[in-house]
């Protein structure tokens, strides 16, 4: 596989979380114990996915920002995460898939590791596990699965015995499925599918509601892309984009 680029969307308005002193992507959640520093340092929400990417050997990162969120590059510049970071700016975005597609000219020929900057989780090896699987797989898209704590609020994933994804169920009221996806790795095949699918969807005047990444995955399944998934954590991640999730993350990760 060619060199992987990390892709992180940060163009949202964080309307669910309410007023905050900074962009939610750099909200201080826990402490990072670095061997180069004698005292634990504050760890922002985005550092969990950045650390996992860096642990997997990913050294190039593309962050798609909404105009005005300049505290993110300022914070990461001071942090010096030992990654080469490029920023793309949008005035506004109708949803995460459009934010990701904004990077299309820069990522269309390159494998992509995708993660949300407002999901916090234990374990740095989630992308390393995906990359190890990709070396043996010809999948267009690999999903990293986490144990689901609230299936009715998540994209639940059904896989067969070989790890092929057969279905994505978005916020099901009832399900026996155990896993949701939280990170992903994909090839240029999926990047082009995302780009072309959004171009079609955007022309449909009857299309209503926000399109999520889960909807794109559903469409990719219907179009017979090769999609696989593997568990990368038996623990749940926490979405700090909601007041309840933020409180939970502050309690759990500050104590860990």
* 22 vs 203, higher pLDDT: 22
Q: 222, 135 in Cβ contact below 8 A?
A: no
Residue ranges making up the domain that contains 224: 5-254
Phi-psi region of 147 (alpha: psi -120 to 50; beta: other; left: phi over 0): beta
Chain center to CA of 167 = 19
Residue 35: the pLDDT is: 44
Other beta carbons less than 10 A from residue 102's beta carbon: 19
Rounded CA-CA distance 225/169 in Å is 17
Other beta carbons less than 10 A from residue 46's beta carbon: 28
DSSP string, 182-205: EEEEE-HHHHHHHHHHHHHHHT-T
* 184 vs 77, higher pLDDT: 184
Which 3 state secondary structure label does DSSP give 156? strand
Residue 202: the pLDDT is: 75
Rounded CA-CA distance 215/204 in Å is 15
Burial class, 213, CB count within 10 angstroms (exposed 0-12 / middle 13-18 / buried 19+):
buried
Residue 38: the pLDDT is: 54
Residue 241: the pLDDT is: 86
Q: What digits encode the pLDDT tens for the residues 240-249?
A: 988 888 889 8
Q: What digits encode the pLDDT tens for the residues 144-190?
A: 999 999 999 999 999 999 999 999 999 999 999 999 999 999 999 99
Residue located via tokens 């022309």: 203
Q: What digits encode the pLDDT tens for the residues 8-43?
A: 999 987 666 556 778 999 999 976 655 455 556 778
Give the CB-side neighbour count of residue 170, counting CA atoms within 13 A: 10
- What pTM was computed for the model? 0.91
- pLDDT category at 56 given cuts 50, 70, 90 is very high
Rounded CA-CA distance 107/115 in Å is 15
If one counts the domains in the chain, the total is: 1
- Which CATH number belongs to the domain containing residue 23 in this structure? 3.90.550.10
Residue 91: the pLDDT is: 93
């Amino acid at each position: 596989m060619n060199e992987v680029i990390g892709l992180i969307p940060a163009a949202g308005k964080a309307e669910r979380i309410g007023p905050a002193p900074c962009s939610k992507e750099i909200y201080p959640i826990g402490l990072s114990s670095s061997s180069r520093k004698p005292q634990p340092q504050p760890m922002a929400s985005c550092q969990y996915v950045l650390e996992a990417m860096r642990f997997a050997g990913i050294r190039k990162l593309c962050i798609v920002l909404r105009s005005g969120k300049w505290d993110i590059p300022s914070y990461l510049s001071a942090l010096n995460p030992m990654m080469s970071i490029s920023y793309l700016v949008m005035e506004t975005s109708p949803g995460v898939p459009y934010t990701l597609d904004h990077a299309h000219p820069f990522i269309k020929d390159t494998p992509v590791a995708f993660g949300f900057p407002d999901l916090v989780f234990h374990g740095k090896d989630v992308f390393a596990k995906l990359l190890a699987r990709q070396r043996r797989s010809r999948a267009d898209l690999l999903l990293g699965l986490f144990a689901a704590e609230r299936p009715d609020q998540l994209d639940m994933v059904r896989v067969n015995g070989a790890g092929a994804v057969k279905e994505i169920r978005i916020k099901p009221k009832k399900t026996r499925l155990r896993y949701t996806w939280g990170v992903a790795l994909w090839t240029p095949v999926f990047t082009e599918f995302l780009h072309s699918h959004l171009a079609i969807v955007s022309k449909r005047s009857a299309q209503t509601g926000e399109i999520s990444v889960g909807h794109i995955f559903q469409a990719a399944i219907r179009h017979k892309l090769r999609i696989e998934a593997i568990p990368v954590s038996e623990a749940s991640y926490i979405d700090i984009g909601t007041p309840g999730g933020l409180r939970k993350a502050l309690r759990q990760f500050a104590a860990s």
